[in-house]
Structure 1
Amino acid sequence: MEQIIWIPLAVIGLIGGGALGWFLGKQQVRGQLRKEIEVAQQEAQRLVEEAKQQAAQLLLQAKDESLRLREATEAELRKWRADLRKEEERLRHRREELDRRAERLEKQERRLNERQAELERQAAQLQAAVARLEEERRAALEQVAGMTAEQARQVLLEMIEKEAREDMARLYRQIEAEARLQAEERAREIIATAIQRIASEQVAELTVSVVPLPNDEMKGRIIGRNGRNIRALEKITGVEIIVDDTPEAITLSSHDPVRREVARIALTRLIQDGRIHPARIEKVVAEAREEVERIIWEEGQQAAAAAGVTGLHPELIRLLGRLKFRTSYGQNQLHHAVEVAWLAGMIAAELGADVRIARMGGLLHDIGKAVDHQVEGTHALIGAELARRYGVPPKVVNCIASHHHEVPQECIEAVIVEAADAISGARPGARRETLEMYLKRIQELENLARSYPGVAECYAIQAGREIRIIVKPEEVDDLAIIRMSREIARKIEETMQYPGQIKVTVIRETRAVEIAR
């Protein structure tokens, strides 16, 4: 029992001692904290005092700066006001000076108006006096000259008109000569550059083909029994076969060069094979036609490649290849087309024009000749329609249609193609013509020149490449001969077909003859 009582008393003692220690510790901490708070409050009070002192100093500095700026501003304003007063004073003096000047000008204007009125009165009096004198002079001149003033004016006008026409003709010839000299120099340079860069083979073909035979006995085999073989050949090929006395040769004649070539190839193969009868003829002609079509396609492609023209429709390439079998004055048309394309491209490059358009126009300018025997119209218009149908650019179509001036030329490339065509056709050895055609052209040229009024004589010289016209001087003056030369040249271009170019020279000669006795 004693032990039980002793244990709780011990526990109570321990608890009581711990609580007392905790209480005492807490009081010590509180005292320490109170001291720290007081120190912090003192520090805060010190900082506040320092801040107040700094604020007061800054306020004083701000007041001093504000006062300084205010004084500076007031000084500047005083200076500006002084300047303004000076400017106002100057302007006032200026305004007074202007007012005095305006007053003086008004006085001068009144004096000038009065003087002008006086001068006008004097001028009116002088004009009246001059009119009276002019009337008296005119009456005196009419009395002396024996003609009226209107008649004298007409004579004077005629004299002035004649002098003006002579001066105009002289000036016109001078300007034309200068322009022609400059144009010829530039043209010679361009054309020489183009021609020096091109060379093409010379060929001469006719509208007939000659097929050699191994012997004259072959003529009978070609004709066949009762002429059945030659009739079959002519019917299938559409070509006239001429068997005459020419030894060891027969002639094929047709205006269609492709048909003539088909017949030539077929007949050559039949002669080599020796088997000649209608069935064999039909087969060989079909093979020859296929071969010619292949040749046409290849030649068209080679021509386009040689001319540097791409993107053409296949039908245009085929028509281009047909020109291989077409000639004009002995000049092969396919070679001519390629040559014109080269020349046109070179000239376009020299002039800064579109080289692609010029080349394509030059290559296709005679494409209508491939079908002109099948379609109505001129080869230029036929070719233009074909080109338009197969998607050729409009400028190229105009080059084709206008290279013989059947339609107006709308671009510089059209002029270049025309020039290149003339160069290719007119160069030495390019073309040839028969004596009959030459004499006919000479006669047409002279008749055309004689159809103009005032022509006394005309002569075609230099193989028809120049026409010289002598006019009557009393009927045609200097200005009229210039106009006549242009009209005759234009008429020749519109009505005649000729290779190259024709020079028109009109001559007017006035002779004064007097005999001394």
Structure 2
Amino acid sequence: MEPTIIYIIIGIAALIIGLVLGKVVFAKNTKKQVEEAEIQAQKIVADGQLQAENLKKEKLLEAKEKFVQLKAEHDKEVLQRNQKIIEGESRIKQKEQSLNQKDQNLEKQIKENEGIKETLNRQIEVVNQKRTELEKHQEEHIRRLEKVAGLTAEDAKAQLIESLKQEAQTKAIAIQQEIIEDAKLKAGKEARKIVIQTIQRTAAEVAIENSITVFNLESDEIKGSIIGREGRNIRAIEAATGVDLIVDDTPEAIVLSSFDPLRREIARLSLQRLVADGRIHPARIEEVVEKTKKQIDDQVMEIGERTAMELGVHGLHKELIRMVGRMRFRSSYGQNLLMHSRETANLCAIMASELGMNPKLAKRAGLLHDIGKVPDEETELSHALLGAKLAEKYGENPAVVNAIGAHHDEMEMQYVISPIIQACDAISGARPGARREIMQQYIQRIKDLENMAMGYTGVEKAYAIQAGRELRVIVEADKVTDGDSDKLSFEIAQKIQTEMTFPGQIKVTVIREKRSVNVAR
């Protein structure tokens, strides 16, 4: 045999032997694993049974505890219900006993009432007998009185009624007079309160109109052009505007003097145009003045429309608007007429609101109350009556017309707003510093107030504040006691009241302050 075949046979034999040996080894291992798996499975089953037993015991224990708890709660609830039932039965028994007791008392009271009723019946019979006897005696007495007095009972009754009626009327009149006096006192206080609140709520500007206007120049050389040859230019300006031009040594300034602010404004604007243009001669002056007058007319309408719009007064006739605008260039005792009318309108609106009236109607009347001071033509009528006539002409409300005409008592007041317009006009005009005549008196009054207070012993300083409405007096603590302060305040107030004339009221405040001062060195 060849060696190759021998090797093959050996290899096959070796393979067969290997397979047999592998199968034997695999069978042993498999059997061992199966035995281990069975052991592990038995162990798992034993553990599961043990856990199931434990869980079963725990659940049984929990169930027993829950049962015991529920049983205890049930027993407690049953006990509470039984207790409530017992309490209810007890209350019912008590009520039954109380009702039985009441029944017994009631029966007893009924028996007693029956006895009382019999007694009352007997007493009523006696009273009726006595009443009959009394009526007989009274009739007999009345007949005797009639014989003595000579009057019948009816006549006496009528005289008594008349006497009582007169007495009642007298007392009623006295009570009515007391009520009227009390009402007047309260009305006066309320009126002062409303007026003071109205004044305090109005922030008024103090603007005094002067009778001169200063026109500033860039240089003094222009003065010669304005004066002109032999003064013809200045004479032409004065003739065209009605304003006096004062050219003096004041550097770079010319003074325009006139009582009419409208004329001064026309002259100022005309001069401004002439100086800017440079051509200053009589013909040019007249032309510029005419243009300026037209410009002022447009400006007057614009001022009137703006004023009406700011105050919320709508529906005014164009002529009334123009008159309102012209107020800007008029003054009354140095007080600008437009500012005065605006202030009066605001005061009227506030006061009418406080009194529960129509504030718009009051504001309208307040704005128009002085239109008679800016007429197109001079008449002999007073400004109040002329203003009422103009307002009526241009279709204003009758209440507004009456308020305008009656604000100086020249017409009978027929509407409630009329006295409001009169009061607010007086407030605006009499306010310290509003008008030129009052301004000097106001300053002097302030000085007199302070000097009067300084004349008392122990007064260190005195200041008039609040536009002269309050006088604060500072006294020396060493010389004036607290009691003296009260006395001093009263004496100063009495002296002011008796010796000085002033609108409104003046509050006197005496201040006493003790200060101890030492210096450490």
2:342 counterpart of 1:313:
no
Summarize the alignment of residues 310-389 of structure 1 with structure 2, pairs less than 5 Å apart. Answer: 310-371=314-375, 374-389=378-393
1:394 is matched by which residue type in structure 2?
P
**C-alpha displacement at 1:300, in angstroms?**
0.5
Choose from 140, 147, 162 the match for 1:118. Answer: 147
**Matched-pair contact (CA < 8 Å) for 1:372–1:378:** no
Alignment correspondent of 2:306: 302
By how many angstroms is 1:201 displaced? 3.4
For structure 2, list consecutive stretches of 5 or more residues without a partner in the other structure.
1-132, 152-173, 446-466, 470-500, 506-521
Gaps of 5+ in 1: 1-103, 123-167, 442-462, 466-498, 504-517
Q: How does 1:77-156 map to 2 (within 5 A)?
A: 114-120=143-149
SS of residue in 1 equivalent to 2:313: coil
Change (3 A) 1:231 1:364: same
Name the SS for the 1:206 alignment partner. Answer: coil
| Corresponding residue for residue 223 of structure 2 | 219
Which residue number corresponds to residue 289 of structure 1?
293
Describe the shift of the 1:277–1:434 C-alpha distance in structure 2 as closer, same or farther (beyond 3 A): farther
Q: Is the 8 A contact 1:372 1:382 kept in 2?
A: no
Residue by residue, what CA displacement relative to the aligned partner does 1:29-87 show, whole Å, maximum 9, x if unpaired?
Answer: xxxxxxxxxxxxxxxxxxxxxxxxxxxxxxxxxxxxxxxxxxxxxxxxxxxxxxxxxxx
Partner of 2:34: none
Answer 1 or 2: higher relative contact order, Cα 8 Å, separation at least 6.
1
Instruction: Identify if the C-alpha distance between structure 1 residues 244 and 371 changes in structure 2 by more than 3 Å, giving closer, same or farther.
Output: farther
Partner residue of 1:207?
211
Give the Cα separation in 2 of the matches to 1:110 and 1:303. 88
Q: Residues 179 and 214 of structure 1: is their aligned pair in 2 closer, same or farther, counting only changes over 3 Å?
A: farther
The CA deviation at 1:440 is 13
Partners of 2:299 and 2:199 lie apart in 1 by: 29
Of residues 286-295 and 192-201 in structure 1, the stretch that sits farther from structure 2 once superposed is: 192-201
Distance in 1 (alpha carbons) for counterparts of 2:241 and 2:280: 15
Counterpart-to-counterpart distance in 2, 1:331 and 1:210: 19
> Given the superposition, is the C-alpha separation of residues 391 and 435 from structure 1 closer, same or farther in structure 2, using an over 3 Å criterion?
closer
C-alpha distance in structure 1 between counterparts of 2:207 and 2:419, whole Å: 27
Aligned to 2:431: 427
Q: How does 1:454-473 map to 2 (within 5 A)?
A: none
Pick from 241, 245, 253 the counterpart of residue 241 of structure 1. Answer: 245
Using the alignment, how far apart are the partners of 2:360 and 2:254 within structure 1?
A: 45
Q: Which residue of 2 aligns with 1:269?
A: 273
Q: Distance in 2 between matches of 1:239 and 1:362?
A: 32
Query: Quick check: 1:422–1:500 contact (8 Å CA) kept in 2?
Result: no
Equivalent residue, structure 1, for 2:22: none
Are the equivalent residues in 2 in contact too, given 1:325–1:332 (CA < 8 A)?
A: yes
TM superposition score normalised by structure 1: 0.51
2:422 is aligned with 1:418:
yes
Percent identity of the aligned residues? Answer: 50
Provide, for residues 192-217 of structure 1, a one-character-per-residue CA deviation record: whole Å limited to 9, x for no partner: 44344432433222122221223333
Separation (CA, whole Å) in 2 of partners of 1:106 and 1:437: 86
After superposition, the Cα gap between the structure-2 partners of 1:193 and 1:109, relative to the gap in structure 1 and judged at 3 Å, is closer
Q: Indicate conservation of the 8 Å contact 1:300/1:317, yes or no.
A: yes
Please state how far the C-alpha of 1:328 moved relative to its aligned partner: 2.5
The secondary structure found in structure 1 opposite 2:250 is: coil
Distance 2:438 2:218 in 1: 31
Aligned length: 301
The residue matched to 2:310 in structure 1 has which SS? helix
- Name the SS for the 1:271 alignment partner: helix
Matched, 1:228 2:232: yes
**Equivalent residues of 1:216, 1:248 under 8 A apart:** yes
Q: 1:376 to 1:287 in 2, by over 3 A?
A: same
Q: Secondary structure at the match of 2:436?
A: coil
Q: Which consecutive segments of 4 or more residues in structure 1 shift more than 6 A?
A: 104-110, 171-176, 434-441
CA gap of 1:107–1:320, structure 2 versus 1, over 3 A, is same
Cα displacement (A) at 1:181: 5.2
The CA RMSD measured in Å over matched residues stands at: 4.1
Native 8 Å contact 1:387 1:397 kept in 2:
yes
Q: Secondary structure at the match of 1:410?
A: coil
Q: Distance in 2 between matches of 1:402 and 1:269?
A: 44
- How many angstroms apart in 2 are the aligned matches of 1:107 and 1:435? 90
CA distance in 2 between counterparts of 1:328 and 1:354 reads: 28
Alpha-carbon distance in 1 for matches of 2:258, 2:388? 26
Contact 1:388–1:394 (CA<8 Å) still a contact in 2?
Answer: yes
Q: What's the offset of the Cα at 1:428?
A: 4.3
Aligned partner letter, 1:119: V
* Structure 2 Cα separation of the partners of residues 243 and 186 of structure 1: 56
Deviation of 1:309 (Å): 1.0
Give the counterpart letter for 2:144 in structure 1: R
Q: Pick closer, same or farther for the CA change 1:344–1:439 going to 2, 3 Å.
A: closer
For residues 173 and 214 of structure 1, what CA distance do their matches in structure 2 show?
A: 74
What secondary structure does 1:383 align onto? helix
Aligned equivalents of 1:434 and 1:197: distance in 2? 22
